[in-house]
Amino acid sequence: MDSFSDVVSPRISAGRLDEATLASNFADAHPALTDVQARIEADRCFYCFDAPCIEACPTGIDIPSFIARIADNNLRGSAETILSANIFGGSCARVCPTEILCEQACVRTKGENKPVQIGLLQRHATDHLMRSGEQPFQRAPETGRHVAVVGAGPAGLACAHRLAMLGHRVTVYEARAKGGGLNEYGVAAYKLPGDYAQRELDFILGIGGIEILHGRALGRDITLRALRDTHDAVFLGLGHQAVRALNLSPEPLKGVFDAARFIEMLRQSDKSKVAVGDNVLVIGGGNTAIDAAMQAKRLGAREVTIAYRRGLEHMSATAYERDWARTSGIRILPWRTPTALLGDGGVVTGVLFEDTGDGPMPEPADMVLLAVGQLFDPAALAEADAPRLENGRIAVDADGRTSLDRIWAGGDCTAGADLTVAAVQDGKLAAIAIHQALSGEN
């Protein structure tokens, strides 16, 4: 999967920019703090007793405590505080919308409109620990219990790590060739650059007691019944496996792609071999739309436009992400409902949008990226004995229990916020509940 060469139009090509420019465009988008900058920023924290930032963090990280340790130059202690609550604290420091979570809740926001840079401080501490190669967590004595985890994404791996800490043996069944889930395949390359997702995965697996079996898809290679028969408990971290359809053309047109696949291509390929159009149009209003548009621009597209069917305030992408896109030269057109793809000779030439009073509006494009939403596909659970679904996702209680005995679930396959940090919390809480059930505590 090196390019879109089999389906591209003549105006879509790779190698628009030289290697040095590509390397710069896809380097870490946010420079790390220096030690001096980190201590200065840490000193801005009020170390609130009843800190609202903790309440705003889905994983409940003790933020004042980890910041105080940075101020004391105790980076290992700071990282341990973070990772004990969120084992994906390193990647979450980079991809979490901190501007609407912990930083929005910071009391500095009210008085100065300048919150403490919690995300950058969290990254500073966790990066230090990962560079050191130290493993701060130890396994409890072996319990003799064996748990199956389906999916090596943030939810599944967070569950696996906590179970391993508690002394259980864990086997993770992963359909893809690499673990990491969204962090490996679905995040913009400039947010988690290089091999960061795999290095974080190696750090998580460093605790021991966790085995990942790749190429094992639920419903294809393994069944839920078999997992229940051979393990003491099962956790389902299946994530999103499908995208919403947007049928705008009676026949396929070259130059029209799924945005999630485009992002995956960028993360798994040599950037110089990934084709991009000259005039790119992205349809959608979420983070996937922003990430796809930003990366198309960084690949060398001359014009990039995001079209969204409702107003800006309804976009699921944060205001910070929208502003970042616009300052990067990307147009955002609200109230644009697509009605048809325009084409010539089997090649896309643009998109026709709904009449808003002045007649239908055509928007030219030689490449169209569809980012209209990702979905959980319940096909993998097409068994006689499968967990109950609710609104298209697996129904669970507050601890992640499904309707089936000894089966838990979490992350994007269940209801809730589609955020990495929320998936991590789901996995952690389910692991604690599984441990209690296996220990006879409930």
Q: Give 327-349 as a DSSP string.
A: HTT-EEE-S--EEEEEEETTEEE
Cα–Cα distance measured from residue 91 to residue 195, given in angstroms and rounded to the nearest whole number: 12
Q: Please name which of 406, 340, 427 lies closest in space to residue 165, comparing C-alpha atoms.
A: 427
Q: Helix %, strand %, coil % for the chain, to 5? A: 40, 15, 45
Do residues 314 and 283 touch, judged by C-beta distance below 8 A?
Answer: no
Same domain, 184 and 294: no
Cα–Cα distance measured from residue 430 to residue 406, given in angstroms and rounded to the nearest whole number: 11
Same domain, 263 and 165: no
pLDDT at site 7: 53
Is 12 within a domain?
Answer: no
Is 78 within a domain?
Answer: yes
Same domain, 234 and 382: yes
Same domain, 247 and 370: yes
Tens of pLDDT, residue by residue, the chain (442 residues): 334 544 556 689 999 999 999 999 999 998 999 999 999 999 999 999 999 999 999 999 999 999 999 999 999 999 999 999 999 999 999 999 999 999 999 999 988 889 999 999 999 999 999 999 999 999 999 999 999 999 999 999 999 999 999 999 999 999 999 999 999 999 999 999 999 999 999 999 999 999 999 999 999 999 999 999 999 999 999 999 888 888 899 889 999 999 999 999 999 999 999 999 999 999 999 999 999 999 999 999 999 999 999 999 999 999 999 999 999 999 999 999 999 999 999 999 999 999 777 789 999 999 999 999 889 999 989 887 899 999 999 999 999 999 999 999 999 999 988 899 999 999 999 999 999 999 987 6
Cα–Cα distance measured from residue 130 to residue 64, given in angstroms and rounded to the nearest whole number: 21
Locate 276 and state its tokens: 């991009």
Locate 82 and state its tokens: 């973070």
Cα–Cα distance measured from residue 233 to residue 251, given in angstroms and rounded to the nearest whole number: 46
Out of 325, 351, 374, pick the residue that ends a domain: 374
pLDDT at site 2: 37
pLDDT at site 111: 81
14, with CB counted inside 10 A (0-12, 13-18, 19+), is: buried
Same domain, 213 and 152: yes
pLDDT at site 244: 87
Do residues 426 and 238 touch, judged by C-beta distance below 8 A?
Answer: no
Is 203 within a domain?
Answer: yes
H or E element, residue 279: strand 279-283
Is 10 within a domain?
Answer: no
Cα distances (Å, whole numbers) of residue 105 to 98, 99, 217, 361: 9, 9, 40, 41
Note down the domain range covering 423.
146-240+376-438
Out of 132, 158, 176, pick the residue that ends a domain: 132
Q: β-pairing, 361-364 with 367-370?
A: unpaired
Q: What is the CATH number of the domain that holds 268?
A: 3.50.50.60
Do residues 166 and 431 touch, judged by C-beta distance below 8 A?
Answer: yes
Is 2 within a domain?
Answer: no
Same domain, 173 and 291: no
Same domain, 251 and 369: yes
| Four-CA torsion 114, 119, 125, 128, nearest 10 degrees | -120
Is 350 within a domain?
Answer: yes
Out of 331, 353, 374, pick the residue that ends a domain: 374
Q: Please tell me the pTM assigned to this model.
A: 0.95
Q: What is the CATH number of the domain that holds 72?
A: 1.10.1060.10
Is 141 within a domain?
Answer: no
In angstroms, the first-to-last Cα distance of the chain is 48
Same domain, 340 and 250: yes
Is 101 within a domain?
Answer: yes
